[in-house]
Every structure is written in structure tokens, then in C-alpha cells.
Amino acid sequence: MSTVYVIATGGTIVSTSSDTGTVPTESVQELVQAYPESFEHVDIELEQLTQTPSSELTINDLVRLSDCVRAVADEMDGVVVLHGTDTIEETAYYLDIVLDVDVPVVLTGAQRPYDSRSPDGPANLRGALAAASHDHVRTGAYVFFNDRLHAARPVTKDHSSNLDAYGSGNYGPVAERTPNGLWFYRRPESLSVTIPTREITATVEVMPTSTDTDGRQIDHAIDRGVDGIVVDALGLGNVPADVADSIGDAVDDDIVVVITTRCRNGVVSPMYGSKGGGAALEEEGVLFASNLPAHKARIKLLVALSQQPGDTVLEAFDSSQIDGHGYV
């Protein structure tokens, strides 16, 4: 029988209702007692790392989580992380980048609280344990939710409350849980570049853009001395003219600027040569994040800048081949 290490961080899956709202209250040990059928087919070891809504997790919490996985990886067949749904995709992507271990890490959670009349947590937990202990799933980080296993890089939360909350865009799920077990649509593997950072020392801000956005947010970030800025740009990677001016100032101050697109599909591509066009920004020295959304580009930039400024950052955002996706 496979042995799976279960790490609890909090989230809706262990939350109950109170006079002040729904908050995490149940420990991972109490979860095991409440849902014993979820653990019938695996041996488990448990750790309560935090008891925090994922909207309040910090980068230091993610570092602690990765340290925890590294510490047990050699002795386990897989790891399951119980996590809030708000930022589960960011944590999964962080782990996918920084971990260099030979076990899968499967994150799961719930949209409905522990004390709901029909909680979705037990089914998600059973599926995550099945994936983490499956012979065909050997490395990489994943999110298991609503009977589907998603790779860490493409997965996003598409719905704020629906049980079918997660999707992987054009890439699609890795596998689906059926009555006969996991049905695989593609090879389960990491789709992310590995940057084995052990500590996050960089600071990175994310800036959205829209019609007539000015550059004040970037100016403030420059004044605060950040190491990197992710600009969630328009279309193929274009920004208003005032934002372009501020981007130039940031690059002149040796701040790494990464461009993403606010579009849900497609990639950034430096095509337009006007002042705020992507081609002009490329001449300024910005980097482009392909189809990686801004919140995940921030995670990657944090990791790359903390590992080793310079070549690591350039390689991480190499536009010719991004995390197993790209032009070949």
C-alpha cells in the first residue's frame, strides 16, 4: 500500500460557519476522523503546517511548505496538500518550479465548507490521494478538483463558487477520475522550468492596465525599490503611453519588467511599434511571459530573481520555449 504525506494549510475544506463568517477551524486529524473512507486505500502521515485562508498565505508560508515536502519526499510515494482555493494555483505553480523531488505533489481543497450539508471536500480528498499514490503519477505538482487532475502551470480558478471551479484552458486536464480509476488524457509531468530556490529574497509587484492607465503604480514601485514588476498588459502585450514611460524608467533602474496579457487565451507577442506597443517595449528591455497569467508570472519572477539575478531570469522567460510550451 502506498504511503502519502498529507499537509494541511487551512482553507474552506476545514472551515466551519461562525457568527463572524466562515473560518478554518478543523485540524487535519479531525478531517481524517470525519472522512475515514477517504483514506481507506493508502497509508498516511499527517502534518498541520498552518491553519490559514489561502488569501492570507504569505510567500514565507510557501517556502515552509516546499521545505516540508523536501523533508519527507524520499520516504513517501506522494504528497497531498490541503489548501484554500483562492490561491491554490499559485502555490501549485510555486512548488512545481522550486521542487526537484521524485514524488508527485497534489493540492486540493473545497468550495463548500466542512460543515456544509453536502461538502465537496471528501470527494476532492479521495481523488487527490488516488492521484498522489498512482503508479503513473511520479513527479510534478498538480491540482485535483471535481474529479479532474490539472497540471500546475495551466490550471486556473475559473469560477468563484461553482464546484467545477478549475480549468486548464487549451491544455486541458491531465486525468479524470472515473468509477474505474483515473483516466489519463496526457502524460502526468511537470510543465515548468525547475529553479530550485530555497529562499525568496526578491520583491515583485503586479500592475494591471486598462484604458488610459497612467504609470503612477510603476513609479511608486520604483520608489519602493522593488526587484521586479509584472505588467498585465493589453492584447499582445501593449500598454498606454504613460505606462510605457514608467516602464522605461523601471528598466533604467535595473528593475526586471515582465509583460503578460490580460486576455484569457493567447500569448504576448511584441508586434506593435507605437510608444506603448510590445515591439517598442522589447527594445526597452522588458521580458515577455508567453501565455502565463500575471499572478503566476509574479511567482516565477520571484523565484528566478531570488535564485540568481541575470541569466536565471532570462532563461526562465525565454520566449522561444516557455515551460514546455512555445515555438519550436
Higher pLDDT, 66 or 328: 66
Count of domains observed in the chain = 2
> 323 in a domain, yes or no?
no
Q: Which long-range contacts (CB under 8 A, 24 or more apart) does 20-25 make?
A: 22/113, 23/53, 24/51, 24/52, 24/53, 24/84, 25/51, 25/114
| Element holding 48 (H helix, E strand) | strand 43-48
> 41 in a domain, yes or no?
yes
Domain end residue (candidates: 137, 152, 184) = 184
75 contacts 35 by C-beta, under 8 angstroms:
no
Q: Are residues 125 and 229 both part of a single domain?
A: no
Q: Are residues 226 and 169 both part of a single domain?
A: no
Alpha helices in the chain (DSSP H): 28-34, 59-72, 88-98, 121-132, 216-224, 241-252, 278-284, 294-307, 311-316
C-alpha 239/C-alpha 262 separation (Å) is 11
> 256 in a domain, yes or no?
yes
> 114 in a domain, yes or no?
yes
Q: Is the dihedral of CA 222, 231, 61, 57 positive or negative?
A: positive
Q: What is the pLDDT of residue 328?
A: 46
Q: What is the pLDDT of residue 42?
A: 95
Is residue 253 over pLDDT 70?
yes
The band of 309, judged by pLDDT with boundaries at 50, 70 and 90, is low
Q: What is the pLDDT of residue 261?
A: 98
Is residue 243 over pLDDT 50?
yes
Q: Are residues 153 and 83 both part of a single domain?
A: yes
Taking all residues of the chain, what is their mean pLDDT, rounded to a whole number?
95
Largest CA distance in the chain: 62
The band of 246, judged by pLDDT with boundaries at 50, 70 and 90, is very high
Q: Are residues 172 and 241 both part of a single domain?
A: no
Supply the residues annotated as catalytic: 85
Q: Are residues 82 and 44 both part of a single domain?
A: yes
Higher pLDDT, 307 or 158: 158
- DSSP symbols for 215-240: SHHHHHHHHHT-SEEEEEEBTTTB--
> 83 in a domain, yes or no?
yes
The band of 312, judged by pLDDT with boundaries at 50, 70 and 90, is confident
* Segment 153-164 mean pLDDT: 96
> 324 in a domain, yes or no?
no
Q: Are residues 246 and 284 both part of a single domain?
A: yes
The band of 263, judged by pLDDT with boundaries at 50, 70 and 90, is very high
103 contacts 5 by C-beta, under 8 angstroms:
no
Q: What is the CATH number of the domain that holds 95?
A: 3.40.50.1170
Given the C-alpha cell 533604467, which residue does it identify? Answer: 252
* Segment 4-14 mean pLDDT: 97
> 192 in a domain, yes or no?
no
List the single range of 7-16, 30-39, 131-140 with lowest mean pLDDT. Answer: 30-39
Q: What is the pLDDT of residue 323?
A: 60
* Segment 242-250 mean pLDDT: 98
* Segment 66-81 mean pLDDT: 98
Higher pLDDT, 26 or 323: 26
Is residue 194 over pLDDT 80?
yes
Q: What is the pLDDT of residue 96?
A: 98
C-alpha 197/C-alpha 97 separation (Å) is 9
C-alpha 168/C-alpha 208 separation (Å) is 22
Q: What is the pLDDT of residue 56?
A: 98
Q: What is the pLDDT of residue 316?
A: 83
> 328 in a domain, yes or no?
no
Residue 138, classed as helix, strand or coil, is coil
Q: Are residues 170 and 212 both part of a single domain?
A: no
Q: What is the pLDDT of residue 318?
A: 75
* Segment 182-198 mean pLDDT: 94
List strands edge to edge, sheet with 141-145.
43-48, 3-8, 78-82, 105-108, 141-145, 148-151, 175-178, 181-184
Q: What is the pLDDT of residue 1?
A: 84
Is residue 320 over pLDDT 90?
no
Q: Are residues 163 and 258 both part of a single domain?
A: no
Higher pLDDT, 1 or 325: 1
Q: Are residues 97 and 242 both part of a single domain?
A: no
C-alpha 271/C-alpha 196 separation (Å) is 33
Range of the domain at 20: 3-184
Beta bridge partners of 206: 230
* Segment 192-211 mean pLDDT: 96
* Residue from 83, 108, 112 nearest 17 by CA: 112
State what percent of residues in the chain have pLDDT above 70: 96
Is residue 231 over pLDDT 50?
yes
Q: Are residues 152 and 230 both part of a single domain?
A: no
| Element holding 261 (H helix, E strand) | strand 256-261
Q: Are residues 138 and 39 both part of a single domain?
A: yes
Q: Are residues 180 and 81 both part of a single domain?
A: yes
The band of 148, judged by pLDDT with boundaries at 50, 70 and 90, is very high
Q: What is the CATH number of the domain that holds 278?
A: 3.40.50.40
